[in-house]
Structure 1
Amino acid sequence: MASGAPENEDDTQCTLEELDDIITQPAGGMTMLPNTAYDEVYDNLLVGDESIARDLVQLRRLGVTHILNAAHGVDIHHVNTNEDMYTKLKVTFKGIEAIDHMSFNLYPFFQESADFIQKALDSGGKVLVHCIQGVSRSATLAVAFLMLKCHMTVKDALRLVRSHREVCPNTGFQQQLIKLDSELRLQRNNKIQTE
């Protein structure tokens, strides 16, 4: 349903301006917030907000089997959920204590989050990645997953997620995604050269 194959991108470094255009272009140059609690951004991968993460009835109805809380914690800037909350649903839970701030380094969590999502999808599961609003932390981890596991460029991955949900990773997270994009591009080029 929400799958998309990566487009051919040139080998030039992606810029913040290009990512900003992807985020704002569908809304005529404005940043929009989603008007839904969740959206499927890729097959069996949902990005959503705090309300869907707490709605056990809706989670069961949707068939969610795995939850990745990208805003795990107890203060006002986090969503206080845990594995105990989802025991009756038999949902596998993972929490990342990220802050939606430009200076927060989300990069170290890209690989483990992508592995968690991929393992869930490989087992026939359905994953909800959420934060408070479902626009920055969770969207960043969804984009990183598409880059790491589906071999998309940052622009293709962000385009795909943005085509299904209004998202806006903060500038620091965008820079970290650009860094990941550069490293993956370098790995691909090195692999091609050694073959």
Structure 2
Amino acid sequence: MESTWRDRDRDFQKHLIDGETTIQDLVEVLHDTKTNFQLLLPGFTDEDDSTIWRNQKDIDCDEVYENIYIGDAATAKNKEYLKKLGITHVLNAAEGKRFGFVDTDKNYYKDTTIKYLGLPLADRPWICISEYFYTASAFIDEAILQKGKVFVHCMMGISRSATCVLAYLMIKKQLLAAEAVTIVRQNRDIYPNEGFLHQLAQLDNQLRRQRL
């Protein structure tokens, strides 16, 4: 154990040639990256009337990486659409019954084959979302390795859910934070709060040191 802590201390002290990743770096990437809004919803073709689906079913969903989707609470509760899309896993990054949370749990999907994970996260800068980075990443990775599809959501699909997906891309796909933000931002209009961006920057620096 003592040796492990010494190794971690050495990792922390390693010099990053390109400098530390900061909140401002990630904010600039968000501002500089334009979202390519799609006319068709994921799971639909030109033969489907996606406008009617969007208006009547309140669907808000984008594929931000292969087989990884981010969306909002209403879409998460639309089991008919999730089935149409072929979703096998749902990650609720805002599980709870209070205002700003989504009151689903594993029982909500018990009449489906969907595997569920809920994280009780508030969208506040001081919330330690980083304690769930590896849990969320393992769950998303499980879906991908099983040739499944994962739907990650919070209330709006902008901050908490996006942060979890970004952490996955950094941890499991070994992308730099800026690369991950660019890819997801191109596919969905995300904007994690500053506290979450700070924790993603910290994760980026940690992972970069580990890979030296």
Same fold (TM over 0.5): yes
Counting only pairs closer than 5 Å after superposition, residues 23-42 of structure 1 correspond to structure 2 as 23-26=30-33, 37-42=60-65
Alpha-carbon RMSD: 1.6
User: Aligned partners of 2:152 and 2:19: how far apart in 1?
Assistant: 30
Which residue matches 2:14?
none
Q: Please report how far the alpha carbon of residue 179 of structure 1 lies from its aligned counterpart in structure 2 after TM superposition.
A: 0.5
Which residue matches 1:7?
none
Q: Please report how far the alpha carbon of residue 139 of structure 1 lies from its aligned counterpart in structure 2 after TM superposition.
A: 0.3
Q: Read off the aligned partner of 1:86 and give its amino acid letter.
A: Y
Are 2:26 and 2:201, in contact at CA under 8 Å, matched by a contact in 1? no
After superposing on structure 2, the runs of 4+ consecutive aligned residues of structure 1 that deviate more than 6 Å are: none
State the secondary structure of the residue aligned to 1:102.
Answer: coil
User: Aligned partners of 2:74 and 2:31: how far apart in 1?
Assistant: 25
The reply on whether 1:20 has 2:27 as its aligned counterpart is yes
**Residues 22-71 of structure 1: CA distance to partner in whole angstroms, max 9, x if unpaired?**
212245xxxxxxx9711101110001111110111100000000000000
Greater shift in the superposed pair: 82-91 or 53-62: 82-91
The reply on whether 1:43 has 2:103 as its aligned counterpart is no
User: Aligned partners of 1:186 and 1:24: how far apart in 2?
Assistant: 27
Which residue matches 1:111?
134
Counting only pairs closer than 5 Å after superposition, residues 69-84 of structure 1 correspond to structure 2 as 69-84=92-107
Select the residue among 121, 129, 132 that pairs with 2:144: 121
TM-score by length of 1: 0.86
Q: Please report how far the alpha carbon of residue 72 of structure 1 lies from its aligned counterpart in structure 2 after TM superposition.
A: 0.3
Select the residue among 47, 62, 68 that pairs with 2:91: 68
User: Aligned partners of 2:140 and 2:18: how far apart in 1?
Assistant: 28
Question: Number of matched residues?
Answer: 174
Question: What percent of counterpart residues are identical?
Answer: 36
User: Aligned partners of 1:22 and 1:87: how far apart in 2?
Assistant: 40
Q: Read off the aligned partner of 2:88 and give its amino acid letter.
A: T
Are 1:147 and 1:153, in contact at CA under 8 Å, matched by a contact in 2? yes
Which residue matches 2:40?
none
Counting only pairs closer than 5 Å after superposition, residues 36-185 of structure 1 correspond to structure 2 as 37-185=60-208
Q: Read off the aligned partner of 1:25 and give its amino acid letter.
A: D
TM-score by length of 2: 0.79
